[in-house]
Structure 1
């Protein structure tokens, strides 16, 4: 789950002012003002956040730049759709505007899931859909519903945290009749068990037979454009760990060569990394894959060159009708006859009454929800002035010679050009993907996978003859259909067409496969994340088996089972006395004595010489050692992390309200949370040997120094950096960590 917990934008849109509640207004009036603010703010997101076609009253904003945004009620399906009910719908739309347009967050789906649950439970408990009456009881009941609905994984937890963020926003904007603080009662489910690892491996890694089959098909004499696109896209995804959606931003000129340490040229791909939101150079995973990449580009270029040139013409001539062989020789503003209109649109005029233009073009446009105001006005002009009757028959010598119509509008190539581009071109044209803050975007004229609309038709019966549009050939839907098949027996997957029945593969499985192979090759997680274009730890992509990891450790240390670390872990788990000499290999110079056990690990402080100088603040102390494999103390650390998170949330809330001392409290709690999370990440690293000791970093604070500073005797710098200790995080680091923990 992602982007649930962030509540403030890094850089809000310049021309949008945040909604400021008025203290003297009641909650109902605040809600009315908030909704009105959202209605005024929505158009300000054009064109960067939303499309110009958007209208407040639409039931779905998905076609207008809000991905996955449909205002449906809980339990709604495609077969039996159910809409949110007023007045809750207005509130839901206002929240979506706040998140997408003002906060500039891409994802709104988790907020919508939370809102659907909230609407259902609010009506169940109060009999109304008045959101100002939301209470802690309503929120907790909604969480119970979530837990029953989403039993697998941490989906319910993520949506409950989205609800928590919504309640926080409602409190800040004074939209609640009764102010209350609420925290989700749902907890993250434990992950990483052997059973889950095996299930993940089976589910997420590709079938070896599928990769073998793709290689065999790829090396055939391919002539069908669809087969070339699918196999070439798979070749690129198997050359560098990437996502299928990133193929839209791969340019034709994507190859870069650099010399390695031995002076040999190595191939890199210029690739847009979705998670990093930037272009990077990805090295092709092995030299053996470099000819595969070159072959893929060689195969793709001839079938995409014409579409790229066409996309360039469309971009360079926005006011001209696209040229083609049957286009009438008329000026852009000269009136067109019905026959000329059909010729321009590549429609058959027919011999009878002029119905083709109406049936094949106008009606199709009327069904489109995402029409710009200009296109909507032109369509209304034609509809109002177009004689849609069968016409008055003109007879010559007793036979129908022609039809006469009473038209009050003039159709020209300029008007048709506006409608044609609206109907057939992608909403983000000339760019291949929607706008994202700071993203270097790729145009269709430069994209490797640009094709004409309909060029990839799977069946000749469905070939699009007009071809006025452009699209990305290797899109997610087409790739999933070609590699995974459909329930339609008339449509065969790539594997079925080439004689591999039953073989399927998911495109994201290639990314998991390459990440796992890099782990097997001994690359560090940091390098693998950089190689894969990730900003966070991607250990979930590592599907090495326990046996493989065990064997690797055994190869390095054949006596693993009888190692000091294993004996030390056994003593810690059974609460046997542990001598300091048993950790001496990591703490030279200490004496042989019984050491102290803490809730988080072991403590090497000598209590015989002085009491604890930190008064039990273990997470601030460099004498705390955490033992890998001690599940009880790892669980204690996680409980401490959750408690620190709750306390930090309260401190940040107090800081936002300007309370005295809140900033210092938030700073200290953030440092502790950062430390705690770092220890947990390290102790959960499968590469670390069980029984190994992870030493905490000391922040330099003691009771003595604190007392001296308060007495004014000495000036104390509480947080010190040394060569042996890492620098403590900034508040920005801590906030970023919170997003990662909760996300």
Structure 2
């Protein structure tokens, strides 16, 4: 359903890669997913994708109002501050774990002014970098630092103590005044764990339930913790205990537990249970390089300090560990509400408002597209190693409106007519754009040998290297006989190359199958354009917009260098059939 099959297939690729790296395969084996990401091509699909992935204006406005209010709840402060950072430069929610307390740096710009940057660690292989804060968001970033530091300073100090004193039990008022190897009663052990007994459960029962049983369910324990846990469990009295009566009434039970519990052993088990597996680091090492420590991370808090239950009630949790306050699960709950827990919008009266944490990244990427930045700059700013056109939700209507806004020859009634035609999914007329390519000042509309091109060459060179048939910025005009003749000449040449490739494939020549696929796709696209243009239902002057296949010269170079997966460069064109069906159709083409 949707892209689920694609994403699951990429996970299968990682499993195969892991098995190969760990030498678990009896024979050499390599598997690559044949699936591609589903792209939106029609206006309807673009609008649906826009509504699904972009944040609503209501959610942005509500977060802005909350962020600038005097919030009392640490949870609300963390939630709005995390959103402000995600809106200050395009990032992923998981990357907030590696934001340091002292993350702000200033660099001098070309104009001599000071620009604000954030020290950042981008996921998915991009690594450490400094990312510029979007103009206008500098005060918001400054306010984030001012709000978050006071409510996380104590947790950072605690994380530093835990790191510097690995063999000591963390001090608090409940820890018994005993040496590290002196025996502890279950009462004292529970006090040290901040897990006291109740009328219904004895300290011994609480100790077993809260610590021993919980650790026993862990799939992987450290060798040190496993030894201590086995020792206590092996010496545990599994009987119902000896009944002790006082004044003829049952008072309590006595058990013959052999193992001795000490602060040293309790320290090992407590850290195993309550500290993150990568402690003292917030994230696992990447390429052998350690990242940010909890003692330095901006969003470090005590474990459970921000927890809430159903109906927004506080949940009492042990705070012996540390965690990142803005984890993806917590942020998703706070921005969307789930499991009976109210979202931040619901708590403050913004009924029906919700937003996805990744929507902010889509928002900023689209705004950068609207501002005319090149895809290369946008990808670098977003911390991506592969092309991020999937994040661009600029619609055809917006692109057409942008042409009409920036070019002086479009500021007349034709601009409104053109925009109206796009909104209703009607073809554009040649007269709508005929005069845009005239004059040396034109940097938007260009004539090509097969149609018109709307690529902005002032932003970057042609990313397709002239491969117009694979480009979504190509428009073919009905009634332009010269361009139609060029298209037919192109089809004739492609058909000849396709036949030669098929012949080479039949003789098992290396690489021929890939060439058959590539030339076949181009041939099919060229023939489809010709058939569409020659459709008698279209009028002279109507424009047929091409569909992009996602390939660029930059991505091809990155794939050759091994920086990205070559199998995900080209998006699957939804108009194309399977390769077998395609071959059958191409055989019928007559030129």
Same fold (TM over 0.5): yes
Aligned match for 1:629, one of 455, 475, 482? 475
Secondary structure at the counterpart of residue 342 of structure 1: helix
Q: Distance in 2 between matches of 1:302 and 1:210?
A: 27
Aligned match for 1:428, one of 260, 265, 278? 278
Q: Distance in 2 between matches of 1:473 and 1:554?
A: 46
Indicate the residue corresponding to 1:219 in structure 2: 68
Indicate the residue corresponding to 1:285 in structure 2: 134
- Tell me by how many angstroms 1:361 deviates: 2.2
8 A Cα contact 2:305 2:317, kept in partner: no
Secondary structure at the counterpart of residue 285 of structure 2: coil
- Tell me by how many angstroms 1:555 deviates: 3.5
- Tell me by how many angstroms 1:4 deviates: 8.7
Secondary structure at the counterpart of residue 66 of structure 2: helix
8 A Cα contact 1:453 1:464, kept in partner: no
Query: How many residues in Structure 1 have an aligned counterpart in Structure 2?
Result: 479
8 A Cα contact 2:94 2:328, kept in partner: yes
Secondary structure at the counterpart of residue 204 of structure 2: coil
Q: Distance in 2 between matches of 1:624 and 1:498?
A: 53
Indicate the residue corresponding to 1:331 in structure 2: 179
Indicate the residue corresponding to 2:320 in structure 1: 468
Does residue 496 of the first structure (1) align with residue 369 of the second (2)?
no
**TM-score, with length taken from structure 2:** 0.68
Residues 476-491 of structure 1: pairs in structure 2 closer than 5 A: 476-488=328-340, 491=341
Does residue 375 of the first structure (1) align with residue 196 of the second (2)?
no
- Tell me by how many angstroms 1:483 deviates: 0.7
1:578-625: per-residue Cα shift (whole Å, max 9, x none)? xxxxx9999xxxxxxxx999xxx9xxxxxxxxxxxxxxxxxxxx9997
- Tell me by how many angstroms 1:325 deviates: 1.2
- Tell me by how many angstroms 1:396 deviates: 6.8
Distance of aligned partners of 1:436 and 1:455 in 2 relative to their CA distance in 1, 3 Å threshold: same
8 A Cα contact 1:334 1:412, kept in partner: yes
Indicate the residue corresponding to 1:340 in structure 2: 188
Indicate the residue corresponding to 2:158 in structure 1: 310
Secondary structure at the counterpart of residue 358 of structure 2: helix
- Tell me by how many angstroms 1:256 deviates: 0.5
8 A Cα contact 2:89 2:134, kept in partner: yes
Distance of aligned partners of 1:470 and 1:186 in 2 relative to their CA distance in 1, 3 Å threshold: closer
Q: Distance in 1 between matches of 2:466 and 2:276?
A: 60
Indicate the residue corresponding to 1:711 in structure 2: none
Indicate the residue corresponding to 1:230 in structure 2: 79
Secondary structure at the counterpart of residue 220 of structure 2: coil
Distance of aligned partners of 1:623 and 1:394 in 2 relative to their CA distance in 1, 3 Å threshold: closer
Does residue 741 of the first structure (1) align with residue 566 of the second (2)?
no
Secondary structure at the counterpart of residue 253 of structure 1: coil
Indicate the residue corresponding to 1:207 in structure 2: 56
8 A Cα contact 1:226 1:458, kept in partner: no
5+ unaligned residues in a row in structure 1: which ranges?
8-67, 70-91, 105-165, 175-181, 567-572, 574-582, 587-594, 602-621, 655-660, 684-689, 694-724
Secondary structure at the counterpart of residue 629 of structure 1: strand
Does residue 253 of the first structure (1) align with residue 81 of the second (2)?
no
Indicate the residue corresponding to 1:392 in structure 2: 242
If asked which structure has higher relative contact order (CA below 8 Å, sep 6+), I would say: 2
8 A Cα contact 2:40 2:49, kept in partner: no
8 A Cα contact 2:36 2:568, kept in partner: no
- Tell me by how many angstroms 1:267 deviates: 0.7
Q: Distance in 1 between matches of 2:44 and 2:313?
A: 48
Indicate the residue corresponding to 2:533 in structure 1: none
- Tell me by how many angstroms 1:389 deviates: 4.2
5+ unaligned residues in a row in structure 2: which ranges?
419-426, 428-436, 441-447, 454-464, 478-483, 530-542, 547-552, 572-591
Does residue 100 of the first structure (1) align with residue 39 of the second (2)?
no
Does residue 450 of the first structure (1) align with residue 278 of the second (2)?
no
Does residue 554 of the first structure (1) align with residue 554 of the second (2)?
no
Secondary structure at the counterpart of residue 256 of structure 1: strand
Q: Distance in 2 between matches of 1:185 and 1:199?
A: 26
Distance of aligned partners of 1:636 and 1:410 in 2 relative to their CA distance in 1, 3 Å threshold: farther
Residues 127-138 of structure 1: pairs in structure 2 closer than 5 A: none
Indicate the residue corresponding to 1:296 in structure 2: 144
Q: Distance in 2 between matches of 1:503 and 1:317?
A: 45
Secondary structure at the counterpart of residue 474 of structure 1: coil
Distance of aligned partners of 1:438 and 1:397 in 2 relative to their CA distance in 1, 3 Å threshold: closer
Aligned match for 1:193, one of 35, 38, 42? 42
User: Aligned-residue CA RMSD in angstroms?
Assistant: 4.9
Q: Distance in 2 between matches of 1:629 and 1:543?
A: 20
Indicate the residue corresponding to 1:413 in structure 2: 263
- Tell me by how many angstroms 1:338 deviates: 2.4
